[in-house]
A and B are shown apart, each in its own frame.
Chain A
Amino acid sequence: MAVIKAVLVLGLSGALFGGILALASQKFHVERDPREDEIAQLLPGANCGACGFPGCSGCAAAIVAGDASINACPVMDSECAARIAALMGVESGADTEKKVARVFCQGADDKCPPRYVYDGLRSCKAAHRLAGGGKSCVYGCLGLGSCVDACMFDAIHMGPDGLPVVDEAKCTSCGLCVAACPRGIIQLVPISQQVTVLCTSRARGAEVRKTCKIGCIGCGICVKACPQQAITMEDNLAVIDPEKCDACGICVEKCPTKCIVMRDSVPIVAKSAC
């Protein structure tokens, strides 16, 4: 008798709860646009958050809802963008050129010696807050690898000289390393940009000379030498306009501190993320 009662009570309550859930799932059904899932499939699925939405599904929902543009995802390539555009029934924007992260500092320890021995948390942010960091240049790379930790695509590693090196084939220009660097040394540049001033120091020339052997001293030789007038001085720092630069390499030769660098490797095209 007791067994029957137990089976009845448990069976009935189970059926009752099942019924309640079935009813509730009908009553509280949330309409989902089927395109949302399809777009989420096309997105890279790294959930890096570079688009500003919570993960790739969040980005897909925003694209369907019209809150985000078709190419909201900076990581995906143009092929994926075109397929998403086709799904949404609109033309995708002009082919945006792939960007890559570049490290704007060459001040390894032998060129820019440390000011003090830093022995704190292995985080650039923490080091930066401790009296401006252990590097003698307050603009220079602290070399603790916060950008390496931030990268979700295994595209950035510490080189032998203690400076981060970007693997341009793997870089997706998501911008996580840019945000992780407390000094703003990592910036996104078009992949075709050949010549870059690898320094961010806005200090005066004499100061730069004291602290770093390979920093921009703001001498202006490159500005005068450039036949395209592509270089300007901004706060003691040479800035190259990638639109005007034709990669002739004169500035690279003339620069007295060798802080202007020509990228020698041929651009490697990353594999499609689709």
Chain B
Amino acid sequence: MGKLLVIFFGGVLLNNFILSRFLGICPFIGISQRVETAAGMSAAVIFVMALASVVTWFFQHMFLIPLGLEYLQTICFILIIATLVQLVEMVIQKTSPPLYQALGIYLPLITTNCAVLGVTLLNVTENYNLLEAAVNGVAGASGFAVAILLFAAIRERMELSEIPESLKGFPIALITAGLMSMAFLGFAGFRLEALFGVM
């Protein structure tokens, strides 16, 4: 249990996907104008990252490791994630139109997202078991959600502020993202292992 908590809080705060690992920057900048759309995107990312972690874990341990083809994991995982997202999109379009309305437009955007691929590859390098991999997927996506929601709220507020003409739009957004990243560096001093009693 302790180790799962370490993985979770580590993923959300210490190794935040966007602000510390710098993965998934394109949706972070692209889909953060409004808090609502950022929330939709976060939900889709949590869903896909958890699912991708589990499915790629099985693929890794059932095919790649027995066949000695670990070096193919990157290309295989891309294939799996793209298939998975397309499949999920079709299934929810058929079975749950309201969910499709909420998540549908965001799902194709994350088929080849580096954050999703990143979490699955990290699961392999960290040698996580199935449960740990799933928790790591949810944690990474929750970290993404925290970062993009905070950022979207700041950007909504900035839209109404008086900003020098040359900094309006993306320049000020990039400066803000940099400042947020520095703020998140403050979490790097946490010793989660000691906090949750895992050494």
Contact = CB atoms under 8 A, between A and B. Distances in A.
A13 B76 contact: yes
Given A9-B67, A9-B72, A10-B72, A28 B79 contact: no
9 contacts: A5-B69, A6-B72, A9-B63, A9-B69, A13-B80, A21-B86, A21-B87, A21-B90, A28-B94
B67 A54 contact: no
Interface in A1-50: 5-6, 9-10, 13-14, 17, 20-21, 24-25, 28-30
Interface residues of B, number: 20
A248 interface: no
B158 to A, nearest CB: 10
A69 to B, nearest CB: 22
A10 B93 contact: no
Contacts, number: 48
A28 B86 CA distance: 12
A56 to B, nearest CB: 14
Nearest to B64: A9
A9 B66 CA distance: 12
Nearest to B93: A30
B160 A122 contact: yes
A30 B97 CA distance: 10
B83 interface: yes
B129 interface: no
A126 interface: yes
B112 interface: no
Given A9-B67, A9-B69, A28 B90 contact: yes
B1 interface: no
Contact of B67 (A5, A21, A123): A5
A17 B83 contact: yes
B199 interface: no
Contact of B76 (A10, A28, A30, A122): A10
A30 B162 CA distance: 48
Contact of A24 (B67, B91, B160): B91
Interface of B: 63, 67, 69, 72, 75-76, 79-80, 83, 86-87, 90-91, 93-95, 101, 160-162
A20 B83 contact: yes
A174 to B, nearest CB: 19
A54 B63 CA distance: 44
Given A9-B69, A29-B94, A126-B160, 14 more contacts: A6-B72, A9-B67, A9-B72, A9-B76, A10-B75, A17-B80, A20-B87, A21-B86, A24-B86, A24-B87, A28-B94, A121-B161, A122-B160, A122-B161
A25 B67 CA distance: 31
Contacts of A123: 160
Choose among B63, B79, B93, B95 the residue with the greatest number of A CB atoms under 10 Å from its CB.
B79
Contacts of A121: 160-161
A68 B80 CA distance: 41
Nearest to B83: A17
A54 B101 contact: yes
Choose among B86, B90, B94 the residue with the greatest number of A CB atoms under 10 Å from its CB.
B90
Interface in A77-96: none
A202 B56 CA distance: 67
B76 A25 contact: no
A13 B63 CA distance: 10
A24 B76 contact: no
A49 to B, nearest CB: 13
Choose among A10, A14, A17, A25 the residue with the greatest number of B CB atoms under 10 Å from its CB.
A17
A13 B62 CA distance: 13
A122 to B, nearest CB: 5
B166 to A, nearest CB: 18
B36 to A, nearest CB: 12
Contacts of B79: 10, 13-14, 17
Contacts of A25: 90
Contacts of A126: 160
Contacts of A24: 86-87, 90-91
Contacts of B101: 54
